[in-house]
Amino acid sequence: MATIVEHAKPSQREYDRAAVASMVGTTVEWYDFFIYAQAAALIFADLFFKPMGAAGQIVAYVTVGISFVFRPLGAVLAGYLGDRIGRKKVLVATLAMMGAATVAIGLLPTYATIGVWAPILLIALRVVQGFSTGGEWGGAALLAVEHAPVKRRGFFGAFVQMGVPIGMLLATGALALCTFTLTDEQFTSWGWRLPFLVSMVLIGVGFYIRSRVSESPVFAELKERKAQSATPLRELLREHPRRVVLSALSFVGTNGNGYMVIGGFIVAYASKAHGLGKTDLLLATLASAVTWGVFTMVGARWSDRRGRTAVMNVGNLAMVLFAVPFFLLIDTGNLGLIYLAMILFSVGLGLSYGPQPALFAESFPASVRYSGASISYAIGTIFGGAFAPTVAQWLLGKTGGTLAISLYLALLAVVSLVATAALEDRSGVDLAA
């Protein structure tokens, strides 16, 4: 365990404000993403890729994953700017890009109206979403962790992660409300657009809160000492390539397993294979989101006492052990057991997810931290969750069952288990260094 060092201490109000600002931004980001992922699973194959027939559903899942391919580009640019001009300014820009793309999707004509231009424009907007998301998480994580007291970095960093279950709750709740109050014809015709357009309200809230938070005290100290790196990406890859690789791999298990829930695959699979109602399955996803959020905070607070890597690997091991039972419960077709599967599945997700912002922030020196955290995160999402629903759909088609999907998810968690064990736990390290 590294020596604990404290520098300037922001007030408790600043701790709280930075944590909330980070959480609100990532909530907007993930609300936008989940709305798209669930819509892609439920209706986008018919609305945008209908001429492709049965392959349209796989292509719809591919559009979920394609944005991940552009996350590293966003991470590189945001990392450079964030390490040069500060965390706060970059976070405002990423929020604006993500929100604008989401609203534009809600206004986009379908294939029936403008033909092939509909899927082309849809994919282009997904690229914009991916680019902006590549720079969002790293900056939000650093804003929270660099403001936090040294012995509570895990706890305050977890507010960034809470954007996932909260965004998932809002998005799934919005879709569930639409599917419950509208007929299938109304939902397919125009109702699916409403959750995308609601994003405008969330963006306004996010802008207001982020405008009131101060710049990271760690970056402010770097700027005062004129210690920013002139070429943060080059320095990062030259001096810290092992940390980048291991940090990225430490995330693939959580990301891949998480996207089985949030990427819409389970809702689409269970509704088609077992004839369950979409609203019932979306409510089960809500229960999963609540559990994920609770255990994210449990894992984060636990990591402040026991270290980041140890707690993350408890979660990774839980995901390995539950991968097969998860789909066995789903395949009963019993709604109660599906609820149980979704809730238990989220325990390991939360434990491995909560400590991640503090781990990533503590893994890299201040001068390249935004680049290191953002690029590691972006790479981890590509190899983890980017195409997990697509792979799952392909495996289902090839094997006719879900065992291969379970083994795939377990393999991703094993990769993270090994990578996390190989990472140095730097809990309490001086973040200004």
Q: Enumerate domains of the chain plus CATH numbers.
A: 12-422 (1.20.1250.20)
| Per-residue DSSP letter, 51 | G
For the chain, the average pLDDT equals 85
pLDDT tens digit string along 346-378? 999 999 999 999 999 999 988 888 888 888 988
- Between 385 and 321, residue with greater pLDDT: 321
End-to-end CA gap in the chain: 16
- The pLDDT score that the predictor gives to residue 222 is 57
Phi/psi class of residue 333: alpha, beta or left (left: φ > 0; alpha: ψ in -120 to 50)? left
- Between 189 and 134, residue with greater pLDDT: 189
pLDDT tens digit string along 396-432? 989 999 999 999 999 999 999 999 999 988 888 888 7
- Between 11 and 35, residue with greater pLDDT: 35
Structure tokens that stand for 51 in this block: 């001429």
Helix axes 369-383, 356-363, angle to 10 degrees: 130
**Choice among 50-54, 129-133, 222-226, 253-257 with the minimum mean pLDDT:** 222-226
Check whether 339 has a pLDDT greater than 90.
yes
Residue with tokens 């809500």: 286
Query: Averaged over 251-278, what is the pLDDT?
Result: 85
Query: CA-to-CA distance for 391 and 400, rounded, in angstroms?
Result: 13
pLDDT tens digit string along 26-71? 888 778 878 888 788 788 888 998 888 878 888 888 887 787 788 8
Cβ-contact 289, 67 below 8 angstroms = no
- The pLDDT score that the predictor gives to residue 6 is 44
Question: Vertex 385, ends 377 and 84: CA angle to 5°?
Answer: 20
Backbone angles phi, psi at 4, to 5 degrees: -80, 130
- The pLDDT score that the predictor gives to residue 1 is 44
Judged by DSSP in three states, 139 sits in: helix
Task: Give CA 7 to chain center in angstroms.
Answer: 31
Structure tokens that stand for 426 in this block: 């730097």
| Per-residue DSSP letter, 215 | P
The DSSP-derived string for 21-39 is HHHHHHHHHHHHHHHHHHH
